[in-house]
Structure 1
Amino acid sequence: MNEETARPVGKSRSVMTELVFPTDTNHHGTMFGGTLMKAIDKISAISAMRHCNKPVVTASTDSLDFLSPIRMGEAVELEAFVTWTHRSSMEVYVIVRAENLFTGERRITCTAFSTFVAVDEEGKPVRVPPVVPGNDAERKLHDSAPERHQLRLKRRSQRYASTE
């Protein structure tokens, strides 16, 4: 893939903000982890599609780290961007922040890495353009991505199937 097709991280940057309602919470009054995971997958897919301008499918979600609970009535903001690309895959980083809308206090509540694969009309993988980091934080994520990619490949080769 030539350098003319490379795209800056900023092209894929996507932000989604929602208010946390009672139906989004558990008996502790905090956001269900599964509800947050759904939102992470959604914003990650948008980010990946913005990068490659193609349909994508989720290949993996790893290193989903819950750092602090999100409470009912807070705003939850998800920011996603493509950090690295391989042939047909893209690693997407998501940072989740909660905000108390009355005090203005904001905190990081979750981070996650997901991998998406671009596909054609038949669902076959297609090449994606490379991504170019634009600042030190993006460069750090980009430079450390090949190691995460190797760990995903290793994990995939070690899977246990209960039907075998």
Structure 2
Amino acid sequence: MSTGAWVAVVAIAVALAFGLFRMLSDGRFRGTKELHVPHEDHPREPHAWDAVTDALGETELGARATLVQFSSAFCAPCRATRRILADVAEIVPGVVHLEVDAEHHLDLVRRLDILRTPTTLVIDGGGFEIARASGAPRKEQVLSAIPAMDLES
């Protein structure tokens, strides 16, 4: 096999591996660094919600969860994410969906370490970020991120 053929095979293998990685990780919610048990010496501070209200003014925090979506004008997955998050906010009591235009709120994007659109933050009723997903999540993924909060209360 010639060198060119080997280069082509390696390039195809790398592209397939990257595509598989993106398919498996895109839209998956993961816990965030703010998720910890507070105690007397180190109480939690609602950094994520403070950052959102500092940038956008007074907005409504959901009793159970607020789904904060960072999107941009030319982001095709952002439209699908908007529909999914709006559906979840309608069917789950106490959940609010808030969409933020990342292009117009770059300070907030930097402060919350948003690397791509769409990115969805799950903020609990106390204003703490408990999970985030980069990419377009599926409805089941969003719903499974919400029960991590206390839905019985």
Task: Identify the TM-score tier after normalising by the shorter chain.
Answer: under 0.3
Q: Which protein is bigger by CA-based radius of gyration?
A: 2
More helix by share: 2
Indicate the structure whose relative CO is greater, using CA pairs within 8 Å and at least 6 residues apart: 2
More strand by share: 1
